[in-house]
């Protein structure tokens, strides 16, 4: 499988190398990525936990925000648009303490102003642990 | 002002030192903390940005989740309860690129099952940049 | 197709006849209903509009709340549980002015405390007009 | 106190008389209304209940949607803008079965694209029963 998700030919010139950003810190492994779906896996480690030992709730939001943004920017950039997050709404269903987390993202809706993505987080036992819905605004750069 | 928010006498025994967790990575400076309000400040740096140079949307969610969790755990732990996040809903109003961010948190509601916190994020020019609402469940440990 | 959704044998004794409640006012036609899915259709009329002529935003929320509640109560009542709404989150994507609206509901998650339902609203031209996510709490009656 | 909120000189020409719309059905009594705050009271009656006897969850959403829309349209219409709902997010904290409900609305944020309103619902014993956050888009009419 080819490298995901950054193909220098199709993405905007980045201001900061990904490895130095929060996206790099999350250390996502991209499994799939197109205009309709995305799939990502990441490992639970102390730096993503809160002090009581659970995966930090903010990680779910940050991972979903990353997936929705990357997938939308990648799709709209070639047509001269940019994208930025409007809304990020997470529901936590079951704590995760160890192992890896698999995230499946699906584009629920798109129109000329907004793309809506829904993300489901599963633990290593295939249990649904969180749902995060993200709205990305699509706009022509000023 | 005294060190916030961890007083070993009043908080649960931590599984992981704060400095090694996402909370430590966010590098929050606690300005105030009680059962009704909290105030935090943090600096924008590359590790909290996304590759286009803006503060990553997930940071707002993670910071709010941290504040609401710490403030609630601190309040309910002495009575034998634990707390964990149920919902985290962020709205992004204006991008932040530089400087520091001030977060004001207010407890909007509490009952015997849930605490609701609302967080407002302001940039260095005192402009409201994001609102994040967090619901924390309060339960007796099993 | 049999009458939906009320079978006197499986539902709680109602305090008020449905026809006299908001549910009756919405005048939903139930097309399908089981533990995983529900489908409903209703007609746009002045009593469901706002004064500018559009379908009132509150109607989407009220219809989704009704569907999620009925579907969950119907499923858990035989086992001695009751259900009540915790959260209702609507996003409006495209205004509806006329005709009828079709609502497809899907249970996204269930555990021993909560059922999460997602509702998609389509107009007569099959365009997605709104998405409403509802969380229903399941509890043993006091 | 003068009649709220409709002054024919300052509001758009209505497509439908208010009394025939959902807004009329809700039968709100407007106590206060300006660009920053609004206050409304309404009576619980069977037509606003669900069949188990509680105030229907959709009523909170519909009332908040009405308040936020009316307050925003009233403010922006004189400058040639129109307003329509984008998002309506309700949290139900305590059921209401009888009496009247008082709603306090506060504008949390406004910019040239969106107004955010927060609504708190209290019962006759001054207990907070629901919180509803509404986002209204402001746009120039096509």
Question: ipTM for the complex?
Answer: 0.93
D65 classed as catalytic: yes
Q: In what order do the strands lie in the sheet with B37-43?
A: A29-33, A37-43, A100-110, A114-122, A128-139, A82-92, B82-92, B128-139, B114-122, B100-110, B37-43, B29-33
* Residue B138: DSSP 8-state: E
Quote the pLDDT of residue D78. Answer: 87
Quote the pLDDT of residue B7. Answer: 56
- The answer to whether the beta carbons of residues D81 and D30 sit under 8 Å apart is no
- The answer to whether the beta carbons of residues D132 and D64 sit under 8 Å apart is yes
Please state, in angstroms and rounded to a whole number, the distance separating the CA atoms of residues B51 and A22.
Answer: 8
CB-based contact, C133 to chain A, within 8 Å: yes
- The answer to whether the beta carbons of residues D38 and D105 sit under 8 Å apart is yes
Q: Among B94, B116, B131, whose Cβ lies nearest the Cβ of D131?
A: B116
Please state, in angstroms and rounded to a whole number, the distance separating the CA atoms of residues B23 and B140.
Answer: 24
- The answer to whether the beta carbons of residues C136 and D52 sit under 8 Å apart is no
Domain locations along chain A: 18-139
Query: pTM for this one?
Result: 0.93
D50 contact residues in C (CB cutoff 8 A): 21-23, 66, 69
Contact C128 A109 (CB under 8 A): yes
Quote the pLDDT of residue C78. Answer: 87
CB-based contact, C94 to chain A, within 8 Å: yes
Name the CATH superfamily for B21-139. Hotdog Thioesterase (3.10.129.10)
Which tokens hold the place of A117? 């993505």
Contact B56 A66 (CB under 8 A): yes
Please state, in angstroms and rounded to a whole number, the distance separating the CA atoms of residues B137 and B116.
Answer: 9
Each of the 142 residues of chain A gets a pLDDT tens digit; together they read 334 555 545 566 788 999 999 999 999 999 999 999 999 999 999 999 999 999 999 999 999 999 999 999 999 988 889 999 999 999 999 999 999 999 999 999 999 999 999 999 999 999 999 999 999 999 987 6
Of D29, D40, D22, the C-alpha closest to D121 is: D40
User: How many residue pairs bridge chain A and chain B with CB atoms within 8 Å of each other?
Assistant: 150
Q: What φ, ψ does residue C112 adopt, rounded to 5°?
A: -80, -5
Helix-, strand-, coil-residue percentages of chain B, each rounded to 5: 25, 40, 35
Q: List A residues 62-91 in contact with C (Cβ-Cβ < 8 A).
A: 89, 91
Catalytic choice (D2, D10, D36, D65): D65
D108 contact residues in B (CB cutoff 8 A): 131
Q: Among B89, B108, B131, whose Cβ lies nearest the Cβ of D116?
A: B131
Q: Among D18, D52, D56, whose Cβ lies nearest the Cβ of C14?
A: D52
Contact A58 B63 (CB under 8 A): yes
Quote the pLDDT of residue B66. Answer: 98
Q: Among A93, A108, A131, whose Cβ lies nearest the Cβ of C111?
A: A93
Contact A116 C89 (CB under 8 A): no
pLDDT block averages, 10 residues each, chain D of length 142: 49 83 97 96 98 96 98 92 95 97 98 96 98 96 72
Quote the pLDDT of residue B142. Answer: 67
Contact B131 D108 (CB under 8 A): yes
Quote the pLDDT of residue A78. Answer: 87
Please state, in angstroms and rounded to a whole number, the distance separating the CA atoms of residues A36 and A109.
Answer: 9
Non-local CB neighbours of B8 within 8 Å, separated by 6+ positions: none
Please state, in angstroms and rounded to a whole number, the distance separating the CA atoms of residues A132 and B124.
Answer: 29
Minimum Cα–Cα distance from B94: chain D residue:
D111
Contact A57 B85 (CB under 8 A): yes
CB-based contact, B97 to chain A, within 8 Å: no
- Closest-CA distance, C12 to chain A, in angstroms, reads 28
B128 contact residues in D (CB cutoff 8 A): 109
Quote the pLDDT of residue B3. Answer: 41
Before A5, cis peptide (omega within 30)?
A: yes
Q: At what angle do helices D57-76 and C57-76 cross, to 10 degrees?
A: 170
Find chains touching chain C: ≥3 CB pairs under 8 Å: A, D
Q: Which residues is D68 bridged to in the sheet?
A: none
Please state, in angstroms and rounded to a whole number, the distance separating the CA atoms of residues C117 and C132.
Answer: 8
D133 contact residues in B (CB cutoff 8 A): 133
Q: C121: alpha, beta or left, given left = phi > 0 and alpha = psi -120 to 50?
A: beta
Q: List C residues 105-124 in contact with A (Cβ-Cβ < 8 A).
A: 108-109, 111, 114, 116
- The answer to whether the beta carbons of residues A35 and A24 sit under 8 Å apart is no
Assign domain D18-139 to its CATH architecture: Roll (3.10)
Distance of CA A130 to the CA centre of its chain: 13
Positions in chain C short of pLDDT 50:
1-3, 8
Averaged pLDDT score across all residues of chain B = 92
Quote the pLDDT of residue A1. Answer: 34
Quote the pLDDT of residue C122. Answer: 98
3-state secondary structure of C26: helix
Q: CA-CA distances (angstroms) from residue D134 to A131, B38, B50, B91, D114?
A: 21, 24, 28, 11, 10
Contact B109 D93 (CB under 8 A): yes
Quote the pLDDT of residue B35. Answer: 94
Q: What φ, ψ does residue D4 adopt, rounded to 5°?
A: -120, 155
Contact A50 B21 (CB under 8 A): yes
Q: Where are the beta strands (DSSP E) in chain C?
A: 29-33, 37-43, 82-92, 100-110, 114-122, 128-139
pLDDT tens-digit series, residues B18-69: 999 999 999 999 999 999 999 999 999 999 999 999 999 999 999 999 999 9
Find chains touching chain B: ≥3 CB pairs under 8 Å: A, D
Q: Among A108, A109, A128, whose Cβ lies nearest the Cβ of C109?
A: A128
């Amino acid at each position: 499988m080819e490298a995901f998700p950054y193909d220098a030919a199709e993405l905007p010139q980045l201001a900061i190398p990904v490895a130095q950003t929060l996206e790099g810190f999350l250390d996502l492994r991209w499994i799939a990525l197109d205009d309709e779906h995305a799939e990502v896996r990441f490992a639970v480690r102390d730096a993503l936990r809160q002090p009581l030992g659970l995966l930090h709730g903010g990680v779910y939001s940050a991972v979903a925000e990353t997936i929705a943004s990357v997938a939308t920017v990648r799709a709209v950039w070639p047509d001269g648009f940019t994208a930025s997050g409007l809304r990020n709404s997470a529901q936590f269903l079951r704590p995760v303490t160890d192992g890896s987390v698999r995230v499946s993202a699906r584009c629920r809706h798109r129109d000329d102003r907004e793309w809506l993505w829904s993300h489901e987080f599963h633990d290593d036992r295939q249990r649904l642990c969180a749902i995060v819905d993200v709205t990305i605004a699509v706009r022509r750069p000023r």
